[in-house]
Chain A
Amino acid sequence: MTRQIIVGALLLIALIVFPLLSPWSTVILTVALCEGLAALGILILLRAGQVSFGHGLFFAFSAYVVAFMAAAKFGREVLLLVPIATAASGLVAALVGLFIVRYRAIFFGMLNLAISMVFFSLLEKLFSITGGADGKRVPRPTLAGMTLERESFEFWMFYITLALAVIAALAVARYLVSPGGKALEAIKSNETRLEYLGVSSRKVLYGAYLTSGLLAGLGGAIIALVSGHVTPELAYWVRSGEFVFIAILGGAGGVAGPFLGALMFQIIRGYAAVYAPETWHAVLGVMLLVIIFFAPAGLYGLILGRKRAGDAT
């Protein structure tokens, strides 16, 4: 337990300090935090033994909500856009979750994928509304009423995102040790017994799904703001696969894992983009194999010295 807190705190301090030393990194770090938030959502589902290859749906949905609102006359304010867009993704998760919690394992993963691909296709098809494959520009909104230049906007967005990520991570950590969170592990290990406790595994999973949708939505809303552009690619299945990748890379053992994974992912991708611009996918693929075969508990597990995912709770 204490080691986890130390890991989390060190990560946090590094994140607080790094942008001050290297201003160009703020956006990349913010992007990493956003992906970390989505991967945190994946982590929750992983606790229940479920994997979604479609969380790009929630990520992209809130990003487009931000894009549409920021382009419209109203809602050009970060403090308004982020909660509204996140809630919108939560609403979608609430709807999709109604039937998706009936499915398990491969079907759970594939249905998520199918639904996100429907959304992806719609974003591409409805050219006149969504801008098609080229996406939509997101004009920079005000932050707490202030119109900021790029650099200070990015600067503040990073720290806001960091604060939100810390809050989200702590809340999720709390949720995972609550009866509902522990019941998720029960879904993974024995759903029959859960039913024979009189507990609806669907309800338990629904709560988790909703939370994970909200987290992905939060990440998507912020990424739309900092990159200033949204494209359907945010909903593509490979992107959703990356969230799972990040969750496993970081390790599903603790809430700091996804953020550790997301940072690592950005670092690898950054280096690969410089040194192997034509084969950076392969570099990531090899990295993923190495993690799965030699450190299944992910980076987080490596740091904590644990061998198996799920040992740390």
Chain B
Amino acid sequence: MSEVILEARDLQLRFGGVQAAAGASLTVRADERIAIIGPNGAGKTTFINLCTGYIKPESGSVVFAGRDITALSPRAITRLGIGRSFQIPQLFIENTVMENLLLALSAREGSWSPFLRLDRHPKIDEMWALLDIVGLKQTGHRIVRELPEGMRKLIDIAVALALEPKLIFMDEPTSGVSSHEKFQVMDTLTRALDARATTAIFVEHDMDVVARYASRVAVWSGGRIALEGTPDEILNHPEVLETVIGVGV
């Protein structure tokens, strides 16, 4: 068993009268692919937001690679090696796809020289390769605003991967992808993650995807983990079938 890379302990947060996190805890090991499932409003995205510093918990802690990151800013957490993609892709929509990736590259490399042209970054080939992995090489020069949602979701993930994080959170990576392409997308993503030995935590609604790509599943309900286990255990659990997947579906 590999070492623990992320440990969230008893995170609590209320907002607007809703218990968005109610003792959320999760321990993640470096070689894991964890799927987070649960109904809407269960606090899945809140959990990601808490772990990446977008919002701060009222109590509880998040430890990453032995360091307490609970109070750190998203920026500091990103620099420590946590990347994330978003439910609604967060991209520089007026820029080209490649520029989005190159900005991530510059951030990673710290290459901010005013004499450097962004589009002549010495490591630009690496970004083209990355774009190729997610199957979007042909979109490199397109303006993000003009691309469909599904592609944007992948670009969002590619941007996070360009940072070469040790751990990546992906918020519904396949939500904008047509169902017959989902596996293909997840295959390429998994290859990219494997190549970089990146730990991944992803929120997912499609149980087929969960079954195939997760090493462990956490079922979210009411701001905390109601159940966890292997995909086999979870996906056959009667309670999960009822609350998450919906009986008869």
CB of A116, distance to nearest CB on chain B (Å):
27
Residue A190 CB within 8 A of the other chain = yes
Other-chain contact of A197, B78, B93, B117 (Cβ < 8 Å):
B78
Given A179-B111, A186-B92, A189-B93, A196-B52 contact (CB < 8 Å):
yes
The size of the chain B interface, using a CB distance under 8 A, is: 36
A192 / chain B contacts, CB cutoff of 8 Å:
54, 74, 90
Q: Are B107 and A190 in contact (CB under 8 A)?
A: no
Q: Are A182 and B78 in contact (CB under 8 A)?
A: no
Q: Are A196 and B115 in contact (CB under 8 A)?
A: no
Contact bitstring B50-93, A, C-beta under 8 A = 1, else 0 = 00101000000000000000000111101100011000001111
Residue B113 CB within 8 A of the other chain = yes
Other-chain contact of A198, B91, B102, B116, B163 (Cβ < 8 Å):
B163
Given A192-B90, A310-B94, A174-B99 contact (CB < 8 Å):
no
Q: Are A195 and B119 in contact (CB under 8 A)?
A: no
Residue A188 CB within 8 A of the other chain = yes
A198 / chain B contacts, CB cutoff of 8 Å:
75-76, 78-79, 107-108, 163
Other-chain contact of B93, A178, A190, A195 (Cβ < 8 Å):
A190
CB of B70, distance to nearest CB on chain A (Å):
17
- CB within 8 Å of B: which of A174-202? 174-175, 177-183, 185-186, 188-190, 192-200
Complex Cα gap A293–B91 (Å): 28
Interface centre among A179, A186, A192, A200 (most CB of B within 10 A): A179
Q: When A and B form their complex, which 10 residue pairs have the shortest distance between CB atoms, in order from nearest? A: A198-B78, A179-B106, A193-B90, A197-B107, A198-B79, A189-B92, A186-B92, A195-B74, A182-B118, A178-B114
Given A174-B115, A190-B90, A195-B73, A182-B163 contact (CB < 8 Å):
no
Given A190-B93, A197-B159, A198-B78, A177-B118 contact (CB < 8 Å):
yes
Interface centre among A194, A197, A200 (most CB of B within 10 A): A197
Residue B141 CB within 8 A of the other chain = no
CB of A231, distance to nearest CB on chain B (Å):
35
Contact bitstring A146-184, B, C-beta under 8 A = 1, else 0 = 000000000000000000000000000011011111110
Residue B237 CB within 8 A of the other chain = no
